[in-house]
């Protein structure tokens, strides 16, 4: 399964706008997500552990999904 399946599922449970870092293959999309993250375009970020490598800024909530196909989440 591709990365980001669980990230998308968790984002679907959220009723607020958020940055969703599913690690897309497109370099253009990766750059857009990185810039949104760097600028703090939203107050909420969903991603896998790889999202921790980015400059996370001052988010109110960061949700890290432990495994690709998991419904467990770390806050």
Position 44 confidence tier, pLDDT thresholds 50, 70, 90? confident
DSSP 26-38: -HHHHHHHHHHHH
Q: Which residue has the higher pLDDT, 50 or 74?
A: 50
Q: What is the pLDDT of residues 3-28, one digit of tens each?
A: 577 788 888 888 889 988 887 889 99
Contact criterion met (CB below 8 Å) for 51 and 64: yes
46's tokens: 């969903």
**Domain-wise residue ranges, the chain:** 5-74
Write the burial class of residue 34 (CB in 10 Å: 0-12 exposed, 13-18 middle, 19+ buried).
middle
């Amino acid at each position: 399964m591709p990365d980001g399946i669980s990230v998308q599922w968790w984002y679907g449970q959220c009723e607020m706008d958020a940055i969703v870092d599913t690690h897309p293959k497109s370099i253009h999309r990766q750059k857009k997500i990185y810039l949104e993250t760097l600028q703090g375009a939203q107050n909420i970020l969903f991603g896998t552990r790889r999202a921790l490598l980015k400059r996370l800024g001052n988010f109110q909530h960061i949700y890290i999904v432990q495994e690709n196909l998991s419904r467990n989440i770390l806050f």
